[in-house]
Structure 1
């Protein structure tokens, strides 16, 4: 075999080695992206079924630097125990329905075992409230009439999610979580007229409606919200928030 042939073979092997490394990198990114999307979808399936205790293991480990959760303008949670408090002790009230369907994901995976994703959610939320309990809430939150002697709340709801993920011990985990409520409306009313009435709601620390429709509030926030987000109003313009993540190598805190 001549030196020329050996040189050609060597060049081909080097080229194939580079190509194989690139293919492995692309395959790894695709696998990671799929695992991240499955993780968030699993979160939503569990949340819809009131199985939030099973969501706790989906979060990063206790002591992970930079953990964060934020749901309203009332503040954000940066301590592990206050973060998982959102998922502890949730009841499964009779007649209550949550159906949040997420869509339009944009997911980017970094080279540093982190990932970023945004989603849009469209869904329904409904339940029954004891009339005495309902007196503590505005009447426009409820539908006309009673079911089984209780007031009915049945809402369309739209949200956006911005979530950062981190890989720990070979598994992807939720690291930083933010929910932006975009709009909601009772079944009988459009979201434009209701949006004007409901601007104050995102400043409250409401966590969920429990048994008999009783409001359950979040624990005190660990720190103030850096800035405020408000749901749709007929007097405001829409903005690109959160911005879909761009491809990246090293994590930047873009959803803060």
Structure 2
């Protein structure tokens, strides 16, 4: 009996160590992925995604891309070359990472402050704010944690000088995906002066095993 108790305690300690290692790897992988995005390295960004057909990439109101179409999406949304004066710089903050008890998947969220500069003809680049929240699922495969489902929930993307209250240009977008491979967005609710912000994405909670990706869109803790 005593031996069984010791074995159980040893397993719990070992699992905690594995979850801590997973937390660190996931945080590092997402940080590296975002830096690759900032420096316009699409192939490096793709290397952090699983190649599974049920993988998804959703960016604000650009729609949902699935499986092999994620490569097309990243190429479309992130050209590998920059014009002079162009800048898009996203940072990761406030990480919340929950690794499943079975150590096969993980759920994560980051708040992402961002700035940018958009080149314009015969004018200085337009300085912008670009803030959002990342909701993501990770899956452990071939000895590494890969991004399985990625959703960029836009908070604001607006002119730096006017700010998010005066610059309401996002309100006038049709919120219909432009790319022919994209499906309709599952959720897009950027800030406007007359909107009410919801607690979406919901921050991840402890869980035992994978039971679906809809946790991001749930307004209540479960």
Calculate the TM-score normalised by the size of structure 2: 0.87
Please, which of 5, 12, 16 is the counterpart of residue 22 of structure 1? 12
Q: Aligned in 2, Cα 1:16/1:228: closer, same or farther, shift over 3 Å?
A: closer
RMSD: 2.0
Q: Deviations over 1:79-117 (max 9, x none)?
A: 31x211233352222211121111011111111511110
Q: Give the superposition deviation at 1:45.
A: 0.8
**3-state DSSP of counterpart to 1:229:** coil
CA contact (8 A) 1:69 1:77 kept: yes
Q: Give the superposition deviation at 1:73.
A: 2.7
**3-state DSSP of counterpart to 2:37:** helix
Q: Give the superposition deviation at 1:185.
A: 2.6
State the distance in 1 between where 2:202 and 2:117 align. 30
> Would you say 1:191 and 2:175 are equivalent positions?
no
Q: Give the superposition deviation at 1:74.
A: 4.3
Please, which of 129, 138, 144 is the counterpart of residue 171 of structure 1? 144
- Structure whose CA Rg is larger: 1
The runs of 5 or more residues in structure 1 that have no matched partner are 1-9, 131-148, 206-217
2:104 is aligned to: 113
Q: Deviations over 1:130-157 (max 9, x none)?
A: 2xxxxxxxxxxxxxxxxxx334211012
Please, which of 48, 51, 73 is the counterpart of residue 61 of structure 2? 73
State the distance in 2 between where 1:151 and 1:85 align. 31
The runs of 5 or more residues in structure 2 that have no matched partner are 218-222
- How many residue pairs match? The answer is 211
Please, which of 213, 219, 223 is the counterpart of residue 179 of structure 2? 219
**3-state DSSP of counterpart to 2:111:** strand
State the distance in 2 between where 1:182 and 1:202 align. 17
Q: Deviations over 1:41-60 (max 9, x none)?
A: 11111111111221111110
Please, which of 162, 171, 175 is the counterpart of residue 203 of structure 1? 175
1:237 is aligned to: 196
State the distance in 2 between where 1:202 and 1:35 align. 38
State the distance in 2 between where 1:202 and 1:153 align. 23
Counterparts of 1:125-144 in structure 2 under 5 Å?
A: 125-130=116-121
Counterparts of 1:135-154 in structure 2 under 5 Å?
A: 149-154=122-127
> Would you say 1:249 and 2:182 are equivalent positions?
no
Calculate the TM-score normalised by the size of structure 1: 0.76
Q: Aligned in 2, Cα 1:73/1:128: closer, same or farther, shift over 3 Å?
A: closer
Counterparts of 1:44-123 in structure 2 under 5 Å?
A: 44-61=34-51, 64-80=52-68, 82-88=69-75, 89-110=79-100, 111-123=102-114
